[in-house]
Chain A
Amino acid sequence: MSAADAPPAARLLAPLARPDLADHLSAYGPPPFSPAGSARAQNEALIAAVEESGLTGRGGAGFPAGRKMRAVAAAGRRAGPLRSPAGTVIIANGGESEPASAKDALLLSRAPHLVLDGIVLAAQAVGATRAYLCVHGDPAPLRAAVTSRERAGLNRVPIQVAAVPAGYVASQETALISFLNGAGAVPSFVPPRPAQRGLHRHPTLVLNVETLANIALIARHGPAWFRAVGTAAEPGSILVTVGGAVAAPGVYEAALGTPVGALLEQAGGPAEPAQAVLAGGYFGGWLPLPGAGSVPLSARSLREAGAALGPGVLVVLPAASCPLAETARVTGYLAGQSAGQCGPCTQGLPALAEALGQVAFGRPGPEVLRWTRDLLALVRGRGACHLPDGAAGLVASTLLAFAADLRHHAEHGPCGRAARPPVLPLPRPPGSPS
């Protein structure tokens, strides 16, 4: 670890980053493994460094990464005949099922070896004997990357690349474990949590691929280097997918705490007059413009503003689009993504989508609005995963942020903007080949 390194503005998407192993090693240097046969305390030093760095999970939930590693390492130590089997497992989550997010796919194509370094370093820290990299899409390039490291002796644990099925809940962490266990990619009920009993009953560390890439950098440069950008409470940089009505949609890296407006400028600024920003993806919420521009990009600030950081997603909604119609379409999509396991989600999300459809495309009377609000309370917190909570949060945010549109629809029926082509991205409808 060298404290002399200056913190570059772009860390994960550094200009030097190339997908190739030789270029990766010349840009970043070899991953600092502890020597083979090191004492556990030496291996676990990385956990303390990650805790000190303040790194949080970049997959959407934002849980402290070091604490998660600590829990898995501790569960691994408790392994025994009456507990879980010896050895822990690590799963790198690159499933990225959020339709508005593209950052995991970009990171895996631009800096796959940073992610793979992170997998091996984190595996060593928590005593994992096997690693899985779960991706959505073609696994072949990543399998080739793993093979190239094999020859260089960089894989201290075997890494298997698995292609996960499409579906909004398929890359939820318990769904990944269920899939790798040979069952359907559907969430399961916790406890036990993966850290206690996960893949093949082993304590399992599930971390997003961007989180692991950050761990690879923290292992090299130390926690102080990591904290040199970002805010004191939420240090580091984050990959953000900026979409919708901006001139240059794409994935951008920014320090946490950067104003939302600066991110939008980085993405070329507005492509047409805009009314709001959806922050956090489909588990997030709406920030009306122009106020949205000054909100700092951090989990806390966005939550306080009524949205979320989520997996780092900003979608700009043009003034010419109907926010109710946009959200109704997304709610319909989310309802279709229910794994069908939990009654309140199976029943409640289609009902919510139907109600919001009436709000957006009909002429909603007070009873429709009341039923919509009742449904929010009826689905929240009542699923094994957070799909119902996310859908309810998005609808609640819509009702709050677009109260004027709601009144207009109640008085005059659907607005002309409802017919405009959708801005919020959706995958092909369920049932079409994936």
Chain B
Amino acid sequence: MTRRRSEPAGLTVNPIACQAHGMCIELLPELITADPWGYPLIAPGPVPAQLLPLARRAVGACPTMALLLSSPGRHPERDSATAR
């Protein structure tokens, strides 16, 4: 259940922290679009390598720190699955 080092980085949103400021939608329209209420919809799958710098910038720009970029191999213990 541990994340393998080779696994590419992916974007996720902490939906509790997200307040629909829309910074990520402005900064990374290639991967993030707005839903009808202004909350971010993230394209499924890993972040393409050429977009990683932009993804990092979007993560840093989120005023509520709700946008997360998984960093492969850094927190393997957090990803062991328990119940849903």
Please name all residues of chain A whose beta carbon is closer than 8 Å to the beta carbon of B80 when the two chains form the complex: 71, 193, 195-196
Q: Are A343 and B78 within 8 A (Cβ)?
A: no
Q: Are B36 and A189 within 8 A (Cβ)?
A: no
A289 to B23, CA, bound (A): 50
Please name all residues of chain A whose beta carbon is closer than 8 Å to the beta carbon of B35 when the two chains form the complex: 344, 378
Please name all residues of chain A whose beta carbon is closer than 8 Å to the beta carbon of B20 when the two chains form the complex: 343
Chain B interface residue number, banded: 20 to 34
Number of A-B contacts (CB under 8 A): 67
Which of A195, A196, A345 contacts B15 (CB under 8 A)? A345
Q: Per DSSP, are chain B's interface residues mostly helix, strand or loop, or mixed?
A: loop
Considering the complex, which residues of chain B in the window 64-79 have a beta carbon less than 8 Å from any beta carbon of chain A? Answer: 75, 77-79
A68 to B1, CA, bound (A): 12
What distance in Å separates the Cβ of B22 from its nearest Cβ neighbour in chain A?
A: 11
Q: Are A347 and B16 within 8 A (Cβ)?
A: no
Interface size on A, residues (CB 8 A): 31
What distance in Å separates the Cβ of B36 from its nearest Cβ neighbour in chain A?
A: 7
Please name all residues of chain B whose beta carbon is closer than 8 Å to the beta carbon of A384 when the two chains form the complex: 14-16
What distance in Å separates the Cβ of A417 from its nearest Cβ neighbour in chain B?
A: 32
Q: Are A343 and B15 within 8 A (Cβ)?
A: yes
Q: Are A189 and B82 within 8 A (Cβ)?
A: no
Please name all residues of chain B whose beta carbon is closer than 8 Å to the beta carbon of A130 when the two chains form the complex: none
A59 to B20, CA, bound (A): 33
What distance in Å separates the Cβ of A149 from its nearest Cβ neighbour in chain B?
A: 27
What distance in Å separates the Cβ of B71 from its nearest Cβ neighbour in chain A?
A: 13
Q: Does A28 contact B (CB under 8 A)?
A: no
A206 to B37, CA, bound (A): 34
What distance in Å separates the Cβ of B74 from its nearest Cβ neighbour in chain A?
A: 12
Considering the complex, which residues of chain B in the window 28-84 have a beta carbon less than 8 Å from any beta carbon of chain A? Answer: 35-39, 41, 75, 77-84
Residues of A within 8 A of B (CB): 57, 59, 61, 63, 67-68, 71, 75, 78, 173, 188-189, 191-196, 206, 341-345, 347-348, 378, 382-384, 386
27 A-B pairs, CB-CB below 8 angstroms?
A: A57-B83, A63-B82, A63-B84, A67-B82, A68-B82, A71-B80, A71-B82, A189-B16, A192-B78, A193-B78, A193-B80, A194-B82, A206-B83, A342-B15, A342-B16, A342-B18, A343-B18, A343-B19, A343-B20, A344-B15, A344-B37, A347-B37, A347-B39, A348-B37, A378-B41, A382-B39, A384-B16
